[in-house]
Structure formats: C-alpha cells, structure tokens
Amino acid sequence: MVLLSAAAEWYIFSASEGRIFERSADVPVRAPALVLGCSPTFMGGPNGYFYNRMDTAAELWKAGKAAVFVVSGDNSSHAYNEPEWMKRALVERGVPEDRIVCDFAGLRTLDSVVRMKEVFGVSTMIVVSQGFHNERALAIAGHEGMEAWAVSAPDVPNRRSRIKSWFRERAARIWMTLDLWLWRREPRFLGEPVALPEAKGKNDQRPMRSCSS
C-alpha cells in the first residue's frame, strides 16, 4: 500500500507539474472550463470549498479565459443536484446562463474528466477545483491524452476540514491509480455525444445552448 501510494503521488506530481495556477489570468490557454462539483452545504452549514470554487470559476469568465463552462457533478437523486447548484451560483456571479452546460453524470472525478473527452468532445480544457483535487484531475486528463491546465480555488480555513480532506485525497489517489492502470474503469454513464456551445468571445452576446435539467 505504501508503494502504491508513493507511485500515485509521483504520477500525479509528474502529470500536473507546471499546469496549475493560482490566478485565472495566468492560465496560458483559452479553453472550455470543467468545474468539478460539490454541495453548497456541509453538515448543515455553508461549504467553503463550493463557494471558493464558484468564485474562481467566475474569475475565468471575467479574465476571458473561458467562454464555456461544464459544471459536472452528482445528480444521483432528485433532491441532490450539484450541477444545478453550480449553475445557479455561476449565474449569480455574472456568468451568462447560456454559457453553462450541466453534466449530471459526474459521479466521480474520473467520470467528469473522461466525459469531457468522450461526451463533450473536448481535448483541451481548464479544470477548476481546489489544488489537491486539480492535481488528480490533471493526472486523469493526461492519462486520457488531453491537454489540461487548472486554476486552484482557495482552500478552506478550517484546519479540521483540511486534515480530513488530506486523508480522503490520499485514498482517492490510490483508487485513481487502480482505476487507471489496473481496472481500466470507464465512467458509469457515457451516452451520445453532446456538442458544446461555440466558444465565442466573452462580449459576443449571441444566444448559445443553455444548461437545463
């Protein structure tokens, strides 16, 4: 297990080195953005990971680095809909609704990344999440032959939450390595290809395909 963990850390570091940025303006490409999902609430209170992630995604729009956003998350029940929550949060932050596409089958990070390629036809993208999560997403993208960069949302100030996230991430990285190299797992759902809206300039207000449930 120790060797597997070390191999996972090495692979993720190698795949993500030099591809993660703290400021949206520093991202060297203009490409569709994949916003990885989570819930806006946690244990009855606001989830700082969610709000920091949405703020960072909106900064990509304002910086002109992304004109199309895929909000990918879990919608496994009628009452739990991460993509819809993310879409609403981005609209509140000034991203036009018709520039947002919902991916309701982003049950895992692997599903979200691979579906960008296989369902939405994306080969180059910008990932938005916290730094530790971005590293793993970029490793998956690299395995899939995608050109991906990431912009990192701020972490949460709560020390206990950061410690829990650190341990969860170590397990997720081992699981990712097994998924990619041993089990060769695919997303739970793929389906027919979906064409993303054309990535026009941010000041072009012509209508585009909107995000709908």
% of the chain residues with pLDDT over 90: 83
> What does the pLDDT look like over 3-57, one tens digit per residue?
999 999 999 999 999 999 999 999 999 999 999 999 999 888 999 999 999 999 9
Residue 199, pLDDT score: 55
* Burial grade of 205 (CB within 10 A; 0-12, 13-18, 19 or more): exposed
Residue 26's SS3 state is helix
User: Is the pLDDT reported for residue 210 higher than 50?
Assistant: no
Whole-structure pTM value: 0.91
Which of 68-82, 93-107, 110-124, 190-204 is the least confident region?
A: 190-204
What domains does the chain contain, in order, with CATH numbers? 2-183 (3.40.50.620)
* Burial grade of 136 (CB within 10 A; 0-12, 13-18, 19 or more): buried
| Interatomic CA distance for residues 177 and 5, integer angstroms | 9
